Amino acid sequence: MHNIKALPFDFKFDGQTIALIVIDMQRDFAEPGGFGASLGNDVSRIGTIVPTVKKLIEGFRQAQLSVIHTMECHLPDLSDCPPAKRNRGSPTLRIGDVGPMGRVLIAGEPGTAIISELAPLPNEVVIKKPGKGAFYATRLDDELKLHGITHLVFAGVTTEVCVQTTMREANDRGYDCLLAEDATESYFAEFKTAAIDMIRAQSAIVGWTATTDEILKGINNV
């Protein structure tokens, strides 16, 4: 049994049963001209976690543990994008519109790509998801079961939306979930803080949280 120093108490896992899931580190959310900026957000906040996310990814690769990436995106004909999602609010660009990095959040467009510093390796699983949670309408659960994964470490964006949603989905499916506190971010500092508090409340009702350094210490001897 391996151990990671975490809150609200230590996170324990068996050897190769642990995997890293990096949520939606895409150009459309992290760079000017993308969907995140079209909603009026300060996307520079997302860029601050790139070095930490990279460090976490490299640590899992060095330990020969699974790294899984997700991308929020839709089919070109928008058949998997409900009108309620596309039409909400008043962004300067809606899903499917043509922006500086191609059609917003459409599979295969430049803006939908994962930022280059965190690009997946050819052997790493990439989950294209049409919703906020990475289990909805995807093969993620099947992939995890295929490889005997029972414990998940999460990084990526945004903490309170796609990351927390996926953690809750995973929790309901029986996975033990750990959030890397310094490898996740929100456009709103207070939302990140609130999400972390909710995740580890009531004896880790959704999951645990820990720093990247503590996570890497815990997987070093796997």
Domains and CATH numbers, the chain: 2-219 (3.40.50.850)
Rounded to an integer, what distance in angstroms lies between the CA atom of residue 23 and that of residue 70?
A: 5
Q: What percent of the chain has pLDDT over 70?
A: 100
pLDDT digits (tens, 9 = 90+) for 28-67: 999 999 999 999 999 999 999 999 999 999 999 999 999 9
In which band, very low, low, confident or very high, does the pLDDT at 222 lie, cut at 50, 70 and 90?
Answer: confident
At 120 the pLDDT is 98
Q: How far apart are CA 175 and CA 126, in angstroms?
A: 19
Mean local confidence (pLDDT), 83-102:
95
Q: Which residues contact 169 (CB under 8 A, 6 or more apart)?
A: 133, 134, 135, 136
Q: What is the pLDDT of residues 160-180, one digit of tens each?
A: 999 999 999 999 999 999 999
Calpha distance 143→63 (Å, rounded): 19
Around Cβ 113, how many Cβ atoms within 10 Å? 17
Q: 39: exposed, middle or buried (C-beta count within 10 Å: 0-12, 13-18, 19+)?
A: middle
Provide the pLDDT for residue 162.
Answer: 98
What is the per-residue burial (b if ≥16 Cβ within 10 Å, else e) of 4-34?
bebbeeebebeeebbbbbbbbbbbbbbbebb
List residues with catalytic annotation.
24, 129, 162
The yes-or-no verdict on residue 221 having pLDDT over 90 is no
